Structure 1
Amino acid sequence: MNQAQLALLRSQLEQRRDELLGQSDMALACGRDLPVSEVETSPADKATVRLLNDLALEAAGHNVSQLRTIRHALAKFDDGSYGECEECGNPIGFSRLQARPEARLCITCQTRAEKR
């Protein structure tokens, strides 16, 4: 990959990292643990509130996982290993990295991993 391609991919990763951090900051600024508070209502309403809170917690966990993956990819820029497959060491194609800049594996290794 050339320097312009690397700069583009790094920019995409940094932008996504900033979006995820912004979402985390917004959640903390709300000052509440759960997005919907339980009030004395019918059992059906309570079930809906629990479901909404479970979905919000799951989304927050997903965001944390994404943030961890993006930070790992950005760290690979620093050590010069960005764009190399973590399994076989071959280059990850630019088109794959455009679609998933945080990709850790080349298409071949990713396919093999998904079949396991």
Structure 2
Amino acid sequence: MDTLLPDQLEYLRSLLTRQLDGLLAQPQESEGGLRVQAVEEIETSPADSASNRTMNELALEADALRQNQLRALRSALARLDSGDYGDCEQCGQPIGFQRLRVSPEARFCIACQTRREQARR
């Protein structure tokens, strides 16, 4: 694999920037940047209370996912600025343009990512 070409880097930068802008454009409804849409739990039936708790949990999970995505995108843009973008953080080999087109925030090459996922199982 070769290192990324300047036009590929620019394409990936625009892709990362568009994704970041899209996440940042989502409405913010609470302090700290978290978008929590809490459902109020008032005296209701047990089924309604369970539904409200589930809705609150789902909202918190969605916010956590969004915050993780924001961190990953910002980190990728910082690596682009520092010149470290496109190299696997584990083995140091180039990640490859095709993988980065699909997942521009990727930090690991396919081989290292596969090993990491298998180790989690």
Question: Where on the TM-score scale, by shorter chain, does this alignment land: which range?
Answer: 0.7 to 0.9
Alignment partner, residue 23 of structure 2: 20
TM-score with structure 1 setting the length: 0.87
Alignment partner, residue 88 of structure 1: 91
Matched, 1:59 2:62: yes
In proportion to residue count, which structure has more helix? 1
8 Å contact 2:88–2:107 — kept in the other structure? yes
Percent identity between matched residues is 52
TM-score with structure 2 setting the length: 0.84
8 Å contact 2:36–2:60 — kept in the other structure? no
The count of residues paired between Structure 1 and Structure 2 equals 113
CA drift of 1:65 comes to 1.0
Residues 27-47 of structure 1: per-residue CA shift (max 9 Å, x gap): 339xx8533222332111111
* CA RMSD, 1 decimal: 1.8
For 1:103 and 1:13, the matched residues in 2 are separated by 11
Gap regions ≥5 residues in structure 2:
none
Residue 33 and residue 60 in structure 1: after superposition, are their counterparts in 2 closer, same or farther (change >3 A)? closer
Alignment partner, residue 79 of structure 2: 76
Gap regions ≥5 residues in structure 1:
none
Secondary structure of 2:29's partner?
helix
User: Which amino acid in the other structure matches residue 81 of structure 1?
Assistant: D
For 1:61 and 1:93, the matched residues in 2 are separated by 28
